[in-house]
Each structure stands twice: as structure tokens, then as C-alpha cells.
Amino acid sequence: MEWLVLFMLILIGFVLLILEFLVFPGVNVAGILGFACVGIAIYIAYSTMGMTVGHFTLLGTALCGFGVTYYVLRSKTWKRMQLHTQIDSTVEGVDESIQEGDIGMTQGRLAPMGKVRVGNSVVEAESRSGYIEGNREVVVLKVYKNKIVVKLKTE
């Protein structure tokens, strides 16, 4: 009966430790309970079954711990758990016809980001003039891949 208790405590301890590393990282409750289960199993082995059985239990759990650690840290183990998809989409960029110095019209308020119509394109814009109300003329200062930087046009 004691062997079953020892085996179950060690098994539960290893399962909790694996759950701590893979499922609940950072929570620490499963890890602490896992170490406690393994420690209690080793203590029971020493106290009830003698020094020899305690030494073998300690050695067995240490070897199993190293074996599980080696198995988990191999790259093949994690490759089976990884997603193997590639993201090949891109962000819709600014129309290449928009140049620095172009004049545009705000579609709504820029606070400090919003939409600006430059020519036939409506693009995301960032204001360098603070808040700009809707339907005001702006000048393009800088063109990035995903947005433009504008300022309020002064006559």
C-alpha cells in the first residue's frame, strides 16, 4: 500500500510540475504543490520504509526529473506543439501617388489621428498641429508606409 501512495504522490507531483511549466506558467501554485508532493513522497519513503528504499526513491525521482526535463527541453518536443502557419498578409499602405507637400482635406477631426483625403485616396493621418477639426485643409509633411503626417495649412 505504501508503494502505491509513493508512486501516486510522485506521479501527481510530476504532472503538477509539467502543468506549471506548460499550462499555468507564473501562477506557481501547481509548481509548489508538485514539489510538495514529490518531497512528501521522499519523506514517506525514508520514514516508513527505511534508508535503502528512501535512497532508491530519491535517486529514482531525480533520474525521472532529469529525464522529463531532457524530454521537454528537446526541440522536437516543442516543434510538435508549435503552429506551422505563415502570415503572408500585409498592411494596406499609403497610396504611392501621395507626396510630401500635397494638400488634403480632413474627413473628420484629427485628434491627433484621423482620416484625410488626399487626391482620390483616404488615408490614416497624424497631426503635428494638435487637434484639427473636420473639413480643414492640411499639408502632407511626411509619408510613411501605413500613415501620413500632416499639419494645418496656413494661408
Residue 61 shares a structural domain with residue 113: no
CA Rg, the chain, in Å?
32
**Model pLDDT for residues 91-116, shown as the tens digit of each residue:** 677 878 888 999 999 999 998 899 99
96 lies in some domain: no
Domain boundary among 81, 111, 131: 81
135 lies in some domain: yes
Residue 63 shares a structural domain with residue 8: yes
CA distance 39 to 18: 16
32 lies in some domain: yes
Total count of domains within the chain:
2
31 lies in some domain: yes
93 lies in some domain: no
CA distance 115 to 126: 9
50 contact partners, CB below 8 Å, separation of at least 6: none
50 lies in some domain: yes
pTM attached to this predicted model: 0.50
Residue 75 shares a structural domain with residue 44: yes
137 lies in some domain: yes
73 lies in some domain: yes
Residue 76 shares a structural domain with residue 144: no
Residue 29 shares a structural domain with residue 74: yes
Residue 67 shares a structural domain with residue 121: no
Give the range of the structural domain holding residue 53, as residue numbers without chain letter. Answer: 2-81
Residue 15 shares a structural domain with residue 72: yes
Helix (H, G, I), strand (E, B) or coil at 37: helix
**Model pLDDT for residues 71-95, shown as the tens digit of each residue:** 777 767 677 777 778 888 776 778 7
**Model pLDDT for residues 118-139, shown as the tens digit of each residue:** 988 899 999 998 899 999 999 9
Query: Tell me, what's the pLDDT at 155?
Result: 53
CA distance 153 to 134: 13
